[in-house]
Structure 1
C-alpha cells in the first residue's frame, strides 16, 4: 500500500493575475516551483485563503524571479487578484519512504519573492531553513 504525502508547498503566494481566456492551469515563477520541488505540468492543489475555494490544476513555469502567480482558464474564476493562495503538490510513497519524508515548504513575501524555504517535521513544526 502506498500513501499520498505532501511533497512541496508554496505558502500564501499573492495572485498577481487571473486570465479567464487562457487555455488552463496556473503560471508560477520558475524559482518558486524549483524551491518547492514542483515540476512544470505537475498537478497541484490550490487553496484560496480569502474565499476558501480548493481546486486542482497543473503548473506552467513562469519567468524566473517575476513573482508571477496567474490563474488561467476556468481556475481564474476561483480567485481574485490580490488573494493569497497555497499551492500543494503530493507524491505517492511506500510506508518506508513516508516515514522519512520531509516536504519542502516555500514561504514568500508580498511580492512572491522567496522569504524562506524549510520543511515540516512531525505535528507541523518547522525545521531549520534550507536557505
Structure 2
C-alpha cells in the first residue's frame, strides 16, 4: 500500500509579498527551503492561519536570507501581507516505510529567519 504523509513543514511564517500579476507559485527564501528540505517546483499546501484558506501550488526560490514568502498569481488573493501561513509538503511512500519516516519541521522567528 502506498500512502501520502507529511514530508516537510515550515510552521508559521509571515507573508511578505503578494504578486497577483505573476505566473503562479509561492516564492520562499532559499535558506528556509534548505532547512525544510524543499526543492524548487515541489508541490506544497499553504494553510493561512489568519483566514483559514488552503491552497496548493509549487515552490520557487527566493533570495537567500531575505525572509521572503510571496504568494504569486491567483494565490495572492488567498492571503494578505502579514498573514501567518503554514507551508506543508507531502511524499508518497510504502506503508511500512512511512511508519519509520521522520518529517522535517522548522519554526522560523517573527522575521521568517531560522532560529
TM range (shorter): over 0.9
Runs of 4+ in 1 over 6 A off after TM superposition: none
> Is residue 93 of structure 2 the alignment partner of residue 93 of structure 1?
yes
CA drift of 1:96 comes to 1.7
Kindly report which structure 2 residues correspond to 1:8-87, keeping only aligned pairs within 5 A, or say none. Answer: 8-87=8-87
The alpha-carbon deviation at position 24 of structure 1 amounts to: 0.3
By relative contact order (CA 8 Å, sep 6+), the higher-ranking structure is 2
TM-score (norm 1): 0.86
TM normalised by structure 2 equals: 0.98
The secondary structure found in structure 2 opposite 1:98 is helix
TM-fit CA distance, 1:99: 1.0
CA deviations on 1:74-127 (whole Å, 9 max, x unpaired) are: 000000000000000000011121011010001011110012xxxxxxxxxxxx
Question: What stretches of structure 1 of length at least 5 have no aligned partner?
Answer: 116-131
Tell me the residue number matched to 1:6.
Answer: 6
- 1:20-41, CA deviations, whole angstroms, 9 ceiling, x for partnerless residues? 0111000000111111111100
